[in-house]
Structure 1
Amino acid sequence: MTIKCKKCNSEAIIFQKYSGMHLCKKHFVEDVERKIKLTIRKSYSIRKNDVIAVALSGGKDSSAALYIMHKILGERPDIELVAISVDEGIHGYRPQSLEAAKKLTEQLGVRHIIKSFKEEHGTTMDEIALQEREKGACSYCGVLRKNILNRVALDIGATKLVTGHNLDDEAQTILLNHFRGDMERMVRLAPPAAVEGLVLRAKPLRNIPEKEVALYALVNDLPVDFSECPYVGEAMRKEIREMLNDFEAKHPGTRHSLLRGFDKLVGALAKELPPAKIEKCRICGETCTEDVCQACKLLGRA
């Protein structure tokens, strides 16, 4: 039996448990793009002559983010989109995802900058992983990648740096910070204010569930690498992800509720926890909240 779209008579390709709607391809794409446009208008207003950098890994989330930003803004002559990819040096994983990223930027006609851990930090993730078996590689990767993305975005005069964080990512991080009691980090999750030396971060996919981002990439035939990083896996985040997936299956809309609650709460939290003092790293000169940035600490420069 064919299930029909709630908005037309076409065959449905998805059932959104949280909304109760079956949607066909056309109306599913419209639904995703409507939510993304609303998020951009509400939290990340686009201004004339903006240079918008997009962190592009070649995976489903960042590829969908670049595609939708190009679809919304690609015809505007006053807006420049630039994709930035980071080659962390992960054998058997990063080369194919970078190839997918290259294909997408070529299809869209978007300028593409690729930087590597080796040339920027003098090491690779494979080398770090061999040395840091106990501490784990993920903590290094996130800090060093963000460092490169922000530096390149500053170099090209970017006014915003778009990342592909989806609803699942945001809900997991909110819960993770609650469990750790890390309210300072919680405040930093909110749509940010401008800080000198840091390019404004934008998360246009923050209201879109991960599975819908993947489906959006598939129905738009985007060149995407669906493989998983071999170093993935912060133990506590993995447990939270499994727990949230279980709650979502039993109580549809759980992730949306977590994000809505956070968005209402974060303003009050910010008043109680004023932003940390912004300084310049005495070693590399990057903007940070201490006299030495986290990247320099991890790389043993301090």
Structure 2
Amino acid sequence: MAPTLCAACKTQRALIKRPKNHHRLCKSCFISVFEDEVHHTITSSKLFFPGEKVAIGASGGKDSTVLASVLKTLNERHKYGLDLVLLSIDEGIKGYRDDSLETVKRNATQYDMPLKIVGYDELYGWTMDQVVETIGKKGNCTYCGVFRRQALDRGAKMLGIKHVVTGHNADDVAETVMMNLLRGDLARLSRSTSIVTGDSNSDVKRSKPLKYAYEKEIVLYAHHKKLDYFSTECIYSPEAFRGSARGLIKNLERVRPTAILDIVRSGEDMARLVPVNTTKSCACNGEAAPVVVVAEEDGVGGCGSANGRSSGGEMADMEKQLRQNEAAQGLEVDISAEQPPRIPKSKANAVTLPIRSNGIAAKVLGKQTLGTCERCGYMSSQAICQACMLLEGLNKNRPQIQI
């Protein structure tokens, strides 16, 4: 049988089947298409301005490594005029973060970018090893996520930078949307789906240039560009609620490849219905993407390489999953076509169902008023920020040193 030709160039042999839409592309066309899509996200949402100094949140994992590589390429190709810096957080996890930081250091040399490393011990007086030793493994990701978000902002302030980009991808955003829906927490939809968080009043603005990029395609890009990245699961990463949302989304993706982007777009649409929301998706109509002010976000992910979930066998797992996708295409059913005709009921027999409200009137969500933490000065909607509250509990439980 003759080899399948690339759907884009029509000349080279197709080597890659895109997880996003199943288009068959050659290596060079896939890399070009991936970079063009990220460029479209950046320009349509007006994420940067010429001369801006931008910190790339670098963990050494595939997402942040691909983000650094793509931004360097696009910055040179399209003359963004950005001053790019790598900013890495050392949580203090021996056997995990110390190894991934070696990858970040190599990336800094490979991409010719300055590197700043900020440690939990420097900022909080605690490492994650010490935190886990004190509280155990249950709930430790809450501490790490809160500390890591604040550490990125503090690290950026040390460098005099007001814009941090992170490697959050479409899978991450879809997982967060699903978690918020399953918890009934619509108030968080606006900030979890927004491509930009923070505004002129915030110390640091954040953005997600890879928001519409599939995790599988990020792995493919890293593989075919032969990028140097670290892929080991965090030793403290537990089986959390996010894992359940992730499994549900992966099952949907097997039947419908566009499920991830469908969930992201649905989350964006639903977020517009939330009273305090001003978010918008990719600003393809030429308007700048609005930003969402976030005081203390629990984040799309907090601990290192791909939120501590990368197991290192991405390529083999992906090929297996793509074969399953092909076999499952025939199982997809249009449920709208299968519904039986509706039988109208007379008004006399109609029953009005009560609205479930637990006896409490519907609450209109109020807009958060941002201030600063009384203890550390970090932006917070409360008098004391979440990080300081967590530190207070840790310090109370710190073992006393006998002299």
Give the TM interval when normalised to the shorter protein. Answer: over 0.9
Alignment partner of 1:243 out of 242, 245, 248: 248
Alignment partner of 2:230 out of 222, 225, 231: 225
Once the two structures are TM-superposed, the CA of residue 150 in structure 1 deviates from its matched residue by: 0.4
Alignment partner of 1:23 out of 17, 25, 34: 25
Q: TM-score, normalised by structure 1?
A: 0.93
Once the two structures are TM-superposed, the CA of residue 134 in structure 1 deviates from its matched residue by: 6.2
Are 2:54 and 1:49 aligned?
Answer: no
One-letter identity of the residue aligned with 1:288: S
TM alignment of 1:76-225, pairs within 5 A: 76=79, 78-133=81-136, 135-189=138-192, 190-191=194-195, 192-225=197-230
1:5 maps to 6
1:154–1:197 Cα contact (<8 Å) kept = no
2:86–2:114 Cα contact (<8 Å) kept = yes
More helix by share: 1
Once the two structures are TM-superposed, the CA of residue 4 in structure 1 deviates from its matched residue by: 2.9
Q: TM-score, normalised by structure 2?
A: 0.71
One-letter identity of the residue aligned with 2:246: R
Structure 2: 5+ residue stretches without partners: 279-363, 396-403
2:49–2:80 Cα contact (<8 Å) kept = no
Once the two structures are TM-superposed, the CA of residue 74 in structure 1 deviates from its matched residue by: 4.3
Q: Deviations over 1:106-152 (max 9, x none)?
A: 11110100111111111111111122226421111111011111012
**Helix, strand or coil: the match of 1:249?**
helix
Structure 1: 5+ residue stretches without partners: none
One-letter identity of the residue aligned with 1:167: A
Q: Deviations over 1:140-183 (max 9, x none)?
A: 11110111110121232323210000111010000001111112
Are 2:89 and 1:67 aligned?
Answer: no
In 1, Cα distance between equivalents of 2:109 and 2:59: 15
1:257 maps to 262
2:47–2:207 Cα contact (<8 Å) kept = no
Return the index of the structure with the highest Cα Rg. 2
Aligned residues: 302
Q: Deviations over 1:200-229 (max 9, x none)?
A: 111011111111111111211211001111
Once the two structures are TM-superposed, the CA of residue 14 in structure 1 deviates from its matched residue by: 2.0
Q: Identify which range, 117-126 or 43-52, moves more after superposition.
A: 43-52
* Superposition RMSD in Å: 2.0
Q: Deviations over 1:55-89 (max 9, x none)?
A: 00000001111111111114759421111001111
In 2, Cα distance between equivalents of 1:209 and 1:282: 40
2:170–2:215 Cα contact (<8 Å) kept = yes
Provide closer, same or farther for how the CA distance between residues 127 and 251 of structure 1 changes in structure 2, counting only shifts above 3 A. Answer: same
2:54–2:85 Cα contact (<8 Å) kept = yes
In 1, Cα distance between equivalents of 2:240 and 2:155: 31
